[in-house]
Amino acid sequence: MLKRGVAWWVTIGAMILAAAGHAAASIKVGDMRYFSAPDHTRIVVDSDQPLSFQTMELKGPERLVIDLKDAATAVASPRSFAVGDSIVQRVRVARYDAGTVRLVMDLVQPVQSKIFLLNPLEDKPYRLVIDLNRSDLAEKEHKARVQEQSKERRIIVIDPGHGGDDVGAVSRQGTYEKNIVLALGKKMRDCINRKPGFKAFLTRDGDYFIPLEKRIVIARDYNADFFISLHTDANLNKGVRGASVYCLSLKGASDEAARLLAERENASDMFGGVAYADDKDLNSILVDLVQTQTMNDSLHFGGLALNALAGLNQVKFKQPKQARFVVLRAADIPSVLIETGFITNPEDERLLKSASFQQKLAGSLSDVTYEFVSLLAKRDGIALPGAPAETGKTGRHLVQPRETLSQIAREYNTTVGELVRMNNLRGGDHLVAGRELVIP
C-alpha cells in the first residue's frame, strides 16, 4: 500500500488574509497525510513552527476534534479527505476562527488518542502526530500472533524496515527504501510459506511505521525461530554498491562504517515518530546480555546469507559485520539485518526495484533461511514435519533435468550448504543435468 497523502500548502490568499488582520494565525500548517495500520491510524500534520492544540471528543456520531491554535491553512473552502479504514472514516479540515484550524475526525467507534509533537529532523519540518488507537484491535492482533506459536512449525518473522513517515534511504530518483523492502518481504514470506514445516510472518504488511522495539515484541509474540530485518543502504558516493549482512554487537562495532550504519537504522524511531513516554514497558523484554549461542547462530546465518547474496549481486564484505542495532536485540531469537544493496547506486537501484530480481533475492534468502533454521532444529533434536526422513543414503548423485540443489539436499537429508561445500559449487540453486554430485 502506498502512502496516501493529502497535500496543500498555505495559499498566497491565506497569507494575505493573515497579514491583513489575522496576525494571530502565525503558524503555517502544511502537508497532512495518514497511515493505516491494523490497530491504529496515524495522521501527521506538518507545520513551520511547533503547533499547540486542544482536543474535544464528541458523541453521536463519534468524533474527535482537534483545534490547532494560532494556525492558518488554505481557508477558501473547507477540505476533507476520506480515510475509510477500520478506525477513521474521514478527516475534515476547516478554519474555525481567525486563529484556529479545526480538524474533525469522523470515527468508526471510540478510540484512544495519543497526540505528540516531533521536532524538525533533516528534511522533516515540525510534525504533529495524531495516533488513533483501538486497543480492541491491538489485542486481537496480539492474540492472533500468539495463536500462531507452534512446536510443529518453524516460524520466521520477516521485518521490512521503516514505513510510514520513516521512508528510510531515498535514491536520487526518489525510490524509497520502505517500499522496496516491503515488496521484498512479501515475496520472501511467500517463498518461505512454500517450505515444508515453515511459516513466515511480516512485522508490517503495509505502509505504516512500527517502532523498533515493537518489531521485537511482534517476533516474540510469534515465538519466532528466526528474525530477519530487510533494508537498503545509501551512500553519498553513488559508486558504492553491494549487499551486506549485520548482526548485533553489544560492545563496539566491527568498524566505523558499521557503527554509523547502526546509528542511521536506529534513528528510524525519530523519523517514524515514537511517543517515548508510553513505550517504556517494552524495554523490559530486551535483555542486555544476549545469549552467546543466539549471537553465534546469527553470525552463522550471516555467513550463509553472504554466500547466497554473492551469487546474485556484489557483496560489500565477505563476513557479516556487527554493531548495536536496536532491532536485533531479541535475547533468544537469532536475528540478522540485511542491507540488500545501495539504492543510491543506479545499478543496485535498478535491480532492487525489479520484481524479478526481488523474486530471486527472496528465493535465495528463503532457501538459506530454510537451510539454517533446519540445521538449528536438527541440532536441538526437533523433527520437522514435512522434512525428509533419514534416508541414510550417501555416495554420489546424478543430477536430473530441472533438479535443484534444495531438492537433492532434501532427498539426502543434508543441506544446500553442505552440497555446495562438498562439490565446490558457487551459490545458486540450479544445476546442469548429468553432473555427478558427492553426497556427504
- The pattern of x and - marking residues 349 through 368 that bind Zn ion according to CB under 5 A reads --------------------
DSSP code of residue 284? G
Q: Is 341 in the site for Zn ion (CB under 5 A)?
A: no
Report how many residues bind Zn ion under the rule CB under 5 A: 4
Of 17 and 258, which has the nearer Cβ to Zn ion?
258
Of 45 and 169, which has the nearer Cβ to Zn ion?
169
The least CB distance from residue 236 to Zn ion, in Å, is 16
DSSP 3-state of 277 = helix
Stretch in the footprint of Zn ion (CB under 5 A) among 158-166, 192-200, 246-254, 419-427: 158-166
The residue sitting closest to Zn ion, measured at its beta carbon, is: 231
Q: Is 185 in the site for Zn ion (CB under 5 A)?
A: no
Q: Is 168 in the site for Zn ion (CB under 5 A)?
A: yes
Bridge-based pairing of strands 226-233 and 154-160 is parallel
Cell triple for 51: 503547533
Of 163 and 417, which has the nearer Cβ to Zn ion?
163
Stretch in the footprint of Zn ion (CB under 5 A) among 3-11, 159-167, 198-206, 375-383: 159-167
- The pattern of x and - marking residues 117 through 156 that bind Zn ion according to CB under 5 A reads ----------------------------------------
Distance between CA atoms of residues 248 and 229, nearest Å: 12
Contact, 65 vs 103, CB < 8 A? yes
Contact, 228 vs 335, CB < 8 A? yes
Q: How far apart are the first and last CA of the chain?
A: 46
Stretch in the footprint of Zn ion (CB under 5 A) among 24-32, 211-219, 229-237, 347-355: 229-237
The least CB distance from residue 268 to Zn ion, in Å, is 7
Show Cβ contacts of residue 202 under 8 Å, excluding neighbours closer than 6 positions. 157, 158, 159, 160, 185, 186, 189
Q: Give the containing element (helix H, strand E) for 94.
A: strand 88-97
Of 189 and 231, which has the nearer Cβ to Zn ion?
231
Q: Is 189 in the site for Zn ion (CB under 5 A)?
A: no
Q: Is 231 in the site for Zn ion (CB under 5 A)?
A: yes
Strands (E), 354-403: 395-398
Of 265 and 371, which has the nearer Cβ to Zn ion?
265
Contact, 189 vs 230, CB < 8 A? no
The least CB distance from residue 181 to Zn ion, in Å, is 7
Cell triple for 189: 514470506
Own/partner pairs, 17-23, CB within 8 angstroms, 24+ separation? 17/72, 17/75, 18/72, 21/98, 22/72, 22/98, 22/99
The letter for the amino acid at 428 is G
Of 225 and 339, which has the nearer Cβ to Zn ion?
339
Q: How many CB atoms lie within 10 A of CB 21?
A: 8
Stretch in the footprint of Zn ion (CB under 5 A) among 31-39, 197-205, 263-271, 385-393: 263-271
Q: Among 34, 111, 159, 161, indicate the residue that binds Zn ion (CB under 5 A).
A: 161
Show Cβ contacts of residue 232 under 8 Å, excluding neighbours closer than 6 positions. 168, 169, 177, 180, 181, 339, 340, 341, 342, 343, 348, 352
DSSP code of residue 345? S
Distance between CA atoms of residues 316 and 338, nearest Å: 12
The least CB distance from residue 238 to Zn ion, in Å, is 18
Stretch in the footprint of Zn ion (CB under 5 A) among 35-43, 160-168, 309-317, 318-326: 160-168
Of 32 and 352, which has the nearer Cβ to Zn ion?
352
Of 134 and 329, which has the nearer Cβ to Zn ion?
329
Stretch in the footprint of Zn ion (CB under 5 A) among 144-152, 165-173, 300-308, 314-322: 165-173
Stretch in the footprint of Zn ion (CB under 5 A) among 63-71, 196-204, 228-236, 351-359: 228-236
DSSP code of residue 324? -
The residues that touch Zn ion, with contacts defined as CB under 5 A, are 161, 168, 231, 265
